[in-house]
Structures are given as C-alpha cells and as structure tokens.
Amino acid sequence: MTVVPDHINALAEERQGARENKDFARSDQLREQISQSGWLIKDTSEGYVLTEAPPFVITDHLGAFVDQFANSVTGTTVLLVIVDGWPEDVHTSLSALLEHTPSHACVIAMDCGNVDGAGVVVHELAKVHGNLNEFHFTQTLPELGWANVVNAAVAVSTGEFFAVMDLSTIWEGDALTPLLEVFADPQVAMTGWRAVNVDVDQEWREFTPATAGSVDAILGYLLVVRTSVAREIGPDPKAKFYRNADMEWSLAIRSAGYDVVIPQGELPLRQERHHGYHDSEPDYREKQSKKTYDRLLQKFRKSPEILHKGKDHDN
C-alpha cells in the first residue's frame, strides 16, 4: 500500500477543517490542490479517505463535465455505457460492443468512481479503440444518480441518435442498424432491445413483456432515442437508480405524443448477469426503485390514452 506523503495529509486535514467551518470555497481549492499532487480525497461519515490518483483525468462533478465537453462527442449515434464496478464485465461488454459497433457510431464510457478498478479497464480499452471516449468521475453512481449521468451524456452529444446500454448486454453482431431503421417513421422517438406494456387490469402495478411494434416502455438493457427528443425529454433527474427509470422515461416520451417501437426479429445480443440489479445494495435498490415507480404512477396512471393501442389495453 502506498504511503500518503505528510504534505498531502496536512492538506487533507486543512480541508476537513474548512468543511467543518462550512468554508466550501476553500475546501474545493484544497481538493484541487490535492488532486494536482496526484491524490484523490473522498469524504466519508468518519472523515475522509485518500487514494493515489489513477492514470487518467478525473472530473469532480457532472456540471464541470458538461461545461468542458458540451457538444464535443460526435457520431451519428452516441452510445453510452455507465461503468460503476465489475471490471471483468466492463472488459467483456465493452470489447464486444466495440467489435460490432458500426463505424458511424461513437461509444462513451462514463466511469463513476473507478469502483474495483473498473475505470482502469475503461482507460486501457480506450488506448486501443479510437471510437471509445472515456470520462471518469470522482463520485460513484449512487452519488451522481443514473438519470443525471444520462442527461449529462446527452448534453455533450451531437449525434442524431443517443443510446444507453447496460453492462449485462453483450453484442454478438451489429444490433444498432436494425434499431435505427425504425426511425424511418418520424413519429418514432425511442426504440430498443426489450420492452414491456402496462397491465391496466392490475392498476399499472405490473408490466408484461412486449412483442415487436408499438410498445409502452423500453427497458434499459439497450435503448435508443432521438437526441433532440432526449434533450427535450430526458429521464427524470430524481431517478438515482436505473430500475423503473427507463419505463418512466419511455412513458414521458409517449405522453409528449411520440411513438415507442421495437423492431421485428431477434437482435444479435445476449444478456449476462445483471449486476446492476442483482448485486446492488438491496435496501438502496428497493428504496430508489419504489420512489421512481410511485412517481411514475403519479405522473401517468390517470392518462391511459398515452399507452399504445395494442390488444393489451383493449379492456
């Protein structure tokens, strides 16, 4: 374990004092000074933890990221992968994605907190793949919030389409081209790999798997949206956890008069273990999921006319 130099410890102690005195401007100055010296400081309930900085540039918060990189990520489609740990999955999923992504698309990996060294894996892949843009943040995903990360990525993207993919999704071929074909209909604003429909008989308390065509909601394993629509109607910033946030986003897009569609046929994709759900902290997962679902019901349950007009809603 690398020993923290005395002068870094002194700066960290001074910063702790500044925070206790609510001198946040000085606290930020000291954080930056510590960072420039090659160290990261993370606040904890007991005080702080110092770690040696990894071999890549780290941004302190999403606002600074948007200011610095606004409209700088190019490509007909910009495809976002949020990285929040599980380095082996990061390598497997990103490697497959980069192998099969069409040349007109651009992949961005937003690493939240370099959990278990996952950010280092992103950095190593970016060194050998020119169409992978890496961005790294001090905070973890629970600290940043899923929707905030997605909205920040949309803000820096210039492509016509914007996609979000989960690390559990593994590409075995070009899955993007058949998804983009559904946008030939100008009324379509969102598409994806898997989708669900609202079960109105259960008072919107359940969703059923959807087949090809118009659907109520796309799931976040892989979804694609027109960037112009994503700028107008992004995921609700209150959605800190992904679960139910993808459905809430889909229904918000439908409520604005757009269609949500999945293509015919199977896509060349498979799913591995969904760590973001199964291995997340259970209390946090359930609390945040419930908050989002309750908000979804409050927003949309009184407006059944926004649902697609398939047989699931004929009752």
Query: Other C-beta atoms within 10 Å of 96: how many?
Result: 17
In tens, the pLDDT along 23-68 reads 999 999 998 899 888 888 888 888 999 988 888 888 988 999 999 9
Burial of 259-275, coded b for 16+ CB within 10 Å and e otherwise, reads bbbbbeeebebeeeeeb
Q: How far apart are the C-alpha atoms of 151 and 234, rounded to whole Å?
A: 6
Say which range, 34-48, 159-173, 238-252, 281-295, has the weakest mean pLDDT.
Answer: 34-48
Contact indicator for 162, 80 with CB cutoff of 8 Å? yes
Q: Which residue has the tokens 């002194």?
A: 10
Name the CATH superfamily housing domain 62-313: Spore Coat Polysaccharide Biosynthesis Protein SpsA; Chain A (3.90.550.10)
Model confidence at 208: pLDDT above 70:
yes
How many angstroms separate the first and last alpha carbons of the chain? Answer: 64
Q: What is the pLDDT of residue 55?
A: 83
Contact 188, 225 (CB under 8 A): no
**Chain segment 124-149, per-residue pLDDT in tens:** 999 999 899 999 998 999 999 999 99
* pLDDT at residue number 315: 41
Q: What is the DSSP string of 136-179?
A: EESS-HHHH-HHHHHHHHHHHB-SSEEEEE-TTEEESS--HHHH
108 contact partners, CB below 8 Å, separation of at least 6 = 73, 78, 79, 80, 81, 132, 133, 134, 135, 153, 157
Handedness of CA 142, 143, 149, 150 (dihedral sign): positive
Residue 111: which pLDDT band, with cuts at 50, 70 and 90? very high
Tell me the percentage of the chain whose pLDDT exceeds 70.
Answer: 98
Question: Which of the pair, 221 or 36, is modelled with greater confidence?
Answer: 221
Q: What is the mean pLDDT of residues 69-89?
A: 94
Average pLDDT of the chain to the nearest whole number? 93
Q: Could you tell me the residue ranges of all domains in the chain?
A: 6-52, 62-313
- Angstrom CA distances, 9 to 33, 75, 119, stand at 12, 44, 25
Q: Are 161 and 227 in contact (CB under 8 A)?
A: yes
pTM: 0.86
Q: Which of 1-10, 114-123, 183-192, 237-246 has the lowest mean pLDDT?
A: 1-10
Sign of CA dihedral 305, 306, 311, 315: negative
